[in-house]
């Protein structure tokens, strides 16, 4: 099999410009990185969801910077042709901006192509500072897992006009600051579609319906390896698949074709 070309931000922008959905999955180690690369995934996210998936934590808050560096480096060693985003964990960017920049640099040196930060408002100045220093940034709006306690648990965001307007303003501000991509999590499909269509950059949805520029799922969720009941927005892609790689290929194909997500079955 011929290796895929090295990933670039320009390629992702080309996908978005021609209306081709971007297929994203989380990844935490070199073995799965190779599987996802060979299956044709466009983007891998080394998510701080590793706190739950790999460590058995209740949420993402305990994840440490050194752990994110370790997993990012592991995924990078198994990756060749996939754009690689690394989450900045809780506490790594909420303080002094110089410290946040230094932490982002460490993730880039570990092999990330882009870092992801959660929230709007105060993060805009940080996004601008990172982009000015040559560090691509992905924002994250809607339900932001690092704010789970402030948000009152895993709750749908953007339910009223005030919340929708705040989302719209935050998304525009992040794009203006230079964010090259956004993640929208847990919001009504119609809201996500409306805001995404107003932006010049791709929006990747998770529990945000089909009207955005791509989709992301936690790898272990779509492979039905997560204990307990799967979230409504997840589909088990192992059903009818002969292997893990076949399941990942089906995910990519269904995102690209628009078969996943189905707003009736998976949306809000």
Catalytic one among 20, 161, 185, 239?
Answer: 185
Q: Chain-centre distance of CA 4, in angstroms?
A: 21
Give the burial string for 88-126 (b: 16+ CB within 10 Å, else e): bbbebbbeeeeebbebbebbbebbbbbbbbbbbeebbeb
Q: Quickly count: other Cβ atoms within 10 Å of residue 24's Cβ.
A: 29
DSSP string, 8-33: -HHHHHHHHHTTPPEEEEE--SHHHH
Q: Which two tokens stand for residue 244?
A: 């893990």
Q: How far apart are CA 53 and CA 209, in angstroms?
A: 24
Distance from C-alpha of 237 to C-alpha of 239, rounded to nearest angstrom: 5
Instruction: Please confirm, yes or no, whether 20 is among the known catalytic residues.
Output: no
Residue 192: closest CA among 145, 143, 244: 143
CA–CA distances in Å: residue 180 to residues 9, 46, 70, 256: 8, 17, 25, 20
**Token pair listed for 123:** 């993060």
Positions marked active-site:
185
């Amino acid at each position: 099999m011929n290796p895929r070309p090295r990933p670039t931000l320009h390629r992702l922008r080309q996908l978005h410009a021609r209306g081709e959905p971007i297929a994203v999955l989380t990844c935490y180690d070199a073995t799965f990185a190779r599987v996802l690369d060979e299956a044709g995934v466009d983007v891998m996210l080394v998510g701080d969801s590793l706190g739950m998936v790999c460590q058995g934590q209740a949420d993402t808050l305990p994840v440490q910077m050194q752990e994110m560096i370790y997993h990012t480096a592991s995924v990078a060693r198994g990756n060749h042709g996939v754009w690689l985003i690394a989450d900045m964990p809780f506490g790594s960017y909420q303080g002094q901006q110089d410290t946040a920049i230094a932490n982002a640099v460490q993730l880039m040196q570990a092999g990330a192509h882009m870092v992801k930060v959660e929230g709007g408002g105060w993060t805009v100045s940080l996004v601008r500072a990172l982009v000015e220093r040559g560090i691509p940034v992905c924002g994250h709006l809607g339900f932001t897992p690092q704010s789970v306690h402030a948000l009152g648990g895993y709750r749908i965001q953007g339910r009223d006009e005030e919340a929708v307007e705040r989302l719209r303003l935050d998304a525009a501000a992040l794009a203006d600051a230079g964010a090259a991509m956004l993640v929208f999590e847990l919001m009504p499909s119609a809201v996500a579609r409306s805001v995404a269509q107003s932006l010049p950059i791709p929006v990747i949805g998770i529990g945000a319906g089909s009207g955005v520029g791509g989709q992301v799922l936690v790898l272990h969720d779509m492979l039905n390896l997560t204990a307990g009941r799967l979230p409504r927005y997840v589909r088990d892609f192992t059903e009818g698949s002969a292997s893990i790689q076949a399941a990942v290929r089906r995910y990519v194909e269904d995102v690209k074709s628009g078969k996943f997500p189905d707003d009736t079955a998976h949306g809000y």
